[in-house]
Chain A
Amino acid sequence: MKPEVSPAAQVESSRSPRASRDLTRWWTLTPVTLWMCVLFVLPLILVLAVSFMSRTSFGGIEYSFSLDNYSRFFDSLYIKILWVSCQLAFLTTVLCLFIGYPFAYIIARSPAKYRNLLLLLVIVPFWTNSLIRTYAWIVLLRTEGVINAILLQLGLIGSPLTLLYNDMAVLIGLVYTMLPFMILPLYASIEKLDRSLLEAASDLGARPLQTFWKVTLPLTAPGIMAGTLLVFIPSLGLFFIPDLMGGSKSILIGNLIKNQFLSARDWPFGSAISIILMALTLLFIAAYVRISKDKAGKGLM
């Protein structure tokens, strides 16, 4: 076959800029669109569909339509789990904010030559495996652990303390895992803060605390909101921290979902809880976008 006859070659030889531009556009954007549609959108639609079905007695899925899974979730037991896990995630967020804000402020106001190094030191633990970071706390807190060993050796306690397998341990694990996610957006917004505004406030007679409340805090609010979102949402789903550090009663919404899929084998109910968790997440994000006017979600990246 002569090359001139084939339509593809014709396009190539005529070099119509429009045609080849379309071809490149196709090549750059089709893989991502296809991939994300098949492995991200389709699975979510599937979970949504399954959430309206019911479980067969063998742990399979019965193809029917009902809202039972959702009404079941609003039973006292499950709502309580959601409530407790929201409380835990909220407490984690608040602790991260209180520890992280002064810290981010100090780094942002440190001499410029140290700033990058100080920030890098925050990011390093954030790049290490969250499971390993959890495990490190188990090594510290368990009955035969490092803290108990030191306290015993110093004679401060007679018998080992129970530091692990309770809500306090879960909270420590969550704060430790999530803290860098709070510090980074806070740092970004505090660093951008125009110092002359603070000077102006104090020149006009504002006391340091007043300046903080009326100038610093409102101007760094986007960072606070981004950090809150980045800590709160993942805190709800990190099932392995309560699994490894919590007592039998410490259960997050993430554990509930995991159990429905892997041990109770009630996929429809598990799907319904996932949809509720996702709806909650999207609600938070919508609120964030609305309040912070950060339409592209830049503060979250």
Chain B
Amino acid sequence: MMRLSLGRRFSVFYAALVYLFLYLPISILIMYSFNQSKLNAVWTGFTFDWYGKLFQNTAVLEAMKTSLTVAFINTIAATMIGTLAAVGMYRYHFRGKMALEGLVFLPIVIPEIVMGISLLALFSQLHVPLGFFTLVAAHITFSVPFVMVVVRARLAGFDKHIEEAAMDLGATPWQTFVKVTLPVIAPGVIAGALLTFTLSIDDVVISFFVAGPGSETLPLKIFSMVKFGVTPEINALSTLMLIVTLCIVFIAERIQQKNK
């Protein structure tokens, strides 16, 4: 009895230690975004100054705009392509299905950097200038597979007979999709959309290669700012990005929980 409780106490202690490792750096980052001292090692007092400065920094605001626009267009396009594809893959059997599966699975597992440089090579060979357009195209490419995976997971529990019944009753495949399939998979579609939005907002590696001079995203802006040194402004910017990401993830979780 004594041994069990000792073991349990050790378990709790160990888990707490790992959570501390996971959360301490982020917490300190957030805390110091409210610190008055620019050197940010010693706590000198509470302030919102760094957030104020951030919203006067036009380069940061510009990057924020780019990030949000790219994420928004990417989310719509990738969710549409990915959802249609997941439904198609679920409904039909055809030659080359395995090849298509591989085509969708590969981008998830190959190193991001390879995808980044290969897109850079493509755009430069086709003489497409790097910028907003290439950024959006690249983001859609790495997002589509994730939407497919999420929507497919939702489809896995879906009874094929309902679709067949609808079509037997005279619905066209398209009507069946809109009236029968889509309402059932909607939580998966929304979760997939929110996932791609966060993936797009947070992407560093692929964006690094395909962004042009006038189309810097927020993570790229942070990257170049960090290279020049640590400032409380970056802490504030990081905190804002953390909050946005966490809000989206929270909403996604709620939607998925509700529909389980």
Contact = CB atoms under 8 A, between A and B. Distances in A.
Dominant secondary structure at the A interface: helix
Given A28-B84, A128-B245, 20 more contacts: A17-B167, A25-B88, A27-B174, A28-B87, A33-B100, A35-B81, A39-B140, A42-B122, A99-B21, A103-B15, A124-B246, A127-B245, A129-B241, A132-B238, A138-B226, A149-B42, A179-B21, A180-B22, A274-B117, A274-B118
B204 interface: yes
B117 A271 contact: yes
B41 interface: yes
B202 A139 contact: no
A297 B219 contact: no
B112 interface: yes
B47 interface: no
Interface of A: 15, 17, 20-21, 23-25, 27-29, 31-33, 35-37, 39-44, 46-47, 50, 99, 102-103, 106-107, 109, 118, 120-125, 127-133, 135-140, 142, 144-146, 148-149, 153, 176, 179-180, 229, 233-234, 236-240, 243-244, 254, 257-258, 261, 267, 270-271, 274, 277-278, 281-282, 285, 296-297, 300-301
A46 B115 CA distance: 12
B127 interface: no
Interface residues of B, number: 85
Contacts of A121: 19, 22
Interface in B158-188: 167, 172-174, 177
Contacts of B103: 33, 36-37, 40-41
B103 to A, nearest CB: 5
- Which residue among B25, B104, B223, B227 has the maximum number of chain A CB atoms within 10 Å of its CB? B25
Interface of B: 11, 14-15, 18-19, 21-26, 28-29, 32, 39-42, 80-82, 84-85, 87-89, 91-92, 94, 100-101, 103-115, 117-122, 125, 137-138, 140-141, 144, 148-149, 167, 172-174, 177, 198, 201-202, 204-205, 208-209, 219, 222-223, 226-227, 230, 234-235, 238, 241-242, 245-246, 249, 253
B216 to A, nearest CB: 13
Contacts of A300: 108-109
Contact of A133 (B26, B104, B111, B113): B26
Nearest to A61: B125
Contacts of A132: 26, 29, 222, 238, 241-242
Of all A-B residue pairs in the complex, the 4 with the closest CB atoms, nearest first, are A28-B88, A43-B118, A24-B173, A136-B25
B224 to A, nearest CB: 11
Contacts of B115: 40, 43
A281 B100 contact: no
